Chains A and B, each alone.
Chain A
Amino acid sequence: MFRDVVILLVEDDLGDQKLIEKSLNNERILNELITVNDAENALQYLQRCQDGEKESPRPDLILLDLNMPGMGGKEFLSRIKNNPELNDIPVVVLTTSDSEQDVLESYKLQASGYIKKPVTLQGFQEVMKDLEEYWFVVCKNFPQRQLS
């Protein structure tokens, strides 16, 4: 059985949530976008996935903002990558920061990409298209599924 690609978006800004939702519409890929407002909610969501809850499908990819209220994005990234049940899920940082320090720390924590948020809808669309093409056309994911 083929299923849609599941993307978990961890983002507190409502405007950016909308822009990303609008931009994830590559017609080659069916995706289900699950949005949570902070890292704590993302961890709870992932716990429900691990518990096998049907309405909480395991994400194939996590899109992560760095600056969030409460637990920061880097702390969340570190927890995911140190959890043997979750560390195979690619986490792509999507943030307004382009400080070299943030880029370096994110890669050291095993982010699978670091994308600076574009400022226009068109910019978001281009970025999301490249991201989908790389992760869901070029790359094979686990568990494997075929995309037509």
Chain B
Amino acid sequence: MQNSKNIVVLIVEDDPIDQKSIERAFSNQEMIDRVSVVSSAEEALGYLNRSKEQDGDSPRPNLILLDLALPGMQGKEFLKCIKEDEQLCSIPVVVLTASDNDADIEQSYKLYAAGYAQKPLNAAELDNIVKKLVKYWFTTSSLL
């Protein structure tokens, strides 16, 4: 069902090293057509507002990958904004963060995160996680 569609993933991540490795892991997946990376929640909101206006340079993402610890607006606050926005709330947001504390996990799910993964320590593990995540969201599940 997804094959005919242009699949776009938006990554919200401030750490330049993590940005590179996560972007690379997604770009390695055949079915992903575009990986957009932004460094803060504010930038992500700017991107998503442009996508509402059908700006060709900011295509609407099918999935958002979100770091929790960000400069400025925090990941959870961003998640809340997205889920309260009638035009954006249908986009699944998966948390990918260094934290594995219970409060972060619980709060993220309560704010309707569609998954919570802890950042792995090495590139091979990250590739493995991203492969499974992409399979679940873009092969097994139907997205819009």
Contact = CB atoms under 8 A, between A and B. Distances in A.
A65 to B, nearest CB: 15
A107 B144 contact: yes
Interface of A: 81, 84, 87-90, 92, 98, 100, 103-104, 107-108, 110, 112-116, 126-127, 130-131, 133-135, 137-144
Contacts, number: 95
Interface of B: 1, 83, 89-92, 100, 102, 105-106, 109-110, 112, 114-118, 129, 132-133, 135-137, 139-144
A143 B102 contact: yes
B112 A142 contact: no
Given A130-B135, A130-B136, A142-B105, A116 B142 contact: yes
Contacts of B139: 130
Contacts of B137: 113
Contact of A100 (B83, B118, B144): B144
Given A130-B136, A134-B136, A139 B115 contact: yes
